[in-house]
């Protein structure tokens, strides 16, 4: 695999930059096989163990890997980002620094979604909206500068700045909680802008922990949890024999095949 660029550009002026990584796929395996240490198993066996941990939700071994990023993003994106409260974060301070005149300007506007009150859908070309946004940016930053020139404290002058102003922060997160962040922020229902940052982070994570990423993609990102009602519906459409045949055709065998069978056709039902 070719070395990954240390910085990935996002949106019109933002970026995600990998600062450092602590650990790898081997760290996950070592934590799970705490009595063995590293280098005692094959890559295939390591991949199988990581996959077992992922599908059975054994999370602590994944917490042994940590990523630290330097991110530049609009404030409204960061407000969503910081709802993930398990990370260590340090953001540029508008109390100590004069904030730069850098604003996010979308290439296209989106319409309000008809069914999702907090979402959007489709693109909408609106030159008037773009001009209005630029006017607000210009007036707000001029007001900010005027307040500073009058001797108003930076911590108060910043109140006039809009949410599309760019900010920067350092973000350190363990792999388990980073996967949770990506599961939510790569989802099509997440706001488009934060999805672009999630895609950049996913590219970096995939390059550094490919085995863990493969299992995350299989069981979480492209997988789904079924309710009791959904399982009953599938039981009405399938037979164990047909389901087993389909699973074998997709390459499942051994204990992995048995686990998949028991998801839909358990040997015994809990009380």
Instruction: Dump pLDDT digits (tens) for 173-198.
Output: 999 999 999 999 999 999 999 999 99
Would you say the pTM of this structure is higher than 0.75?
Answer: yes
pLDDT band at 127 (very low <50, low <70, confident <90, very high): confident
Least confident of 172-186, 193-207, 230-244: 230-244
Domain ranges of the chain: 1-104+166-223, 107-163, 228-264
Please give the C-alpha separations between residue 187 and each of 143, 181, 198, 222, 226, in angstroms, as whole numbers.
38, 10, 10, 10, 18
Residue 2 reports pLDDT greater than 50: no
Residue 167 reports pLDDT greater than 50: yes
Average pLDDT, the chain: 91
Higher pLDDT, 145 or 114: 145
**Strand 120-124, strand 109-112: pairing:** antiparallel
Binding-site residue positions for FAD: 60, 83-85, 91, 174-176, 180
Binding-site residue positions for dUMP: 80-83, 91-95, 158, 185
pLDDT on residue 1: 40
How many CA atoms are closer than 13 Å to the CA of 233, on its beta-carbon side? 5
Higher pLDDT, 36 or 119: 119
Higher pLDDT, 6 or 251: 251
Give the active site residues.
Answer: 185
What does the alpha-carbon distance between residue 140 and residue 146 come to, in Å, rounded to a whole number?
A: 10
3-state secondary structure of 261: helix
pLDDT band at 42 (very low <50, low <70, confident <90, very high): confident
Three state DSSP letters for 32-58: HCCCCCCCCCCHHHHHHHHHHHHHCCC
pLDDT on residue 121: 59
As a CATH number, domain 1-104+166-223 is 3.30.1360.170
What does the alpha-carbon distance between residue 103 and residue 161 come to, in Å, rounded to a whole number?
A: 10
Least confident of 13-22, 115-124, 234-243: 115-124
């Amino acid at each position: 695999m070719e070395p990954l660029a240390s910085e990935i550009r996002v949106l019109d002026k933002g970026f995600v930059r990998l600062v450092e990584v602590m650990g790898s796929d081997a760290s996950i395996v070592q934590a799970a096989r705490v009595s063995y240490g590293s280098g005692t198993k094959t890559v295939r066996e390591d991949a199988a163990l990581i996959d077992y941990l992922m599908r059975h939700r054994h999370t602590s071994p994944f917490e042994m890997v940590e990523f630290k990023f330097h991110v530049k993003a609009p404030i409204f994106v960061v407000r969503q980002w910081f709802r993930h409260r398990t990370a260590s974060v340090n953001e540029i301070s508008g109390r100590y620094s004069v904030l730069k005149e850098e604003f996010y300007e979308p290439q296209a506007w989106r319409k309000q979604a008809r069914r999702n009150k907090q979402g959007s859908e489709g693109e909408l070309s609106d030159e008037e909206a773009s001009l209005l946004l630029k006017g607000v940016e210009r007036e707000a930053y001029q007001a900010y500068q005027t307040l500073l020139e009058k001797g108003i404290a930076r911590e108060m002058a910043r109140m006039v700045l809009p949410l599309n102003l760019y900010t920067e922060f350092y973000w350190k997160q363990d792999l388990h909680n980073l996967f949770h962040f990506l599961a939510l922020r790569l989802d099509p229902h997440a706001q488009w802008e934060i999805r672009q940052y999630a895609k950049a982070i996913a590219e970096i994570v995939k390059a550094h922990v490919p085995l863990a990423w493969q299992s995350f993609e299989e069981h979480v990102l492209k997988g789904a949890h079924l309710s009791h009602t959904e399982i009953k519906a599938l039981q009405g459409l399938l037979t164990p024999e047909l389901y087993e045949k389909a699973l074998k055709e997709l390459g499942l065998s051994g204990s992995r095949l048995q686990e998949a069978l028991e998801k839909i056709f358990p040997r015994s039902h809990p009380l």
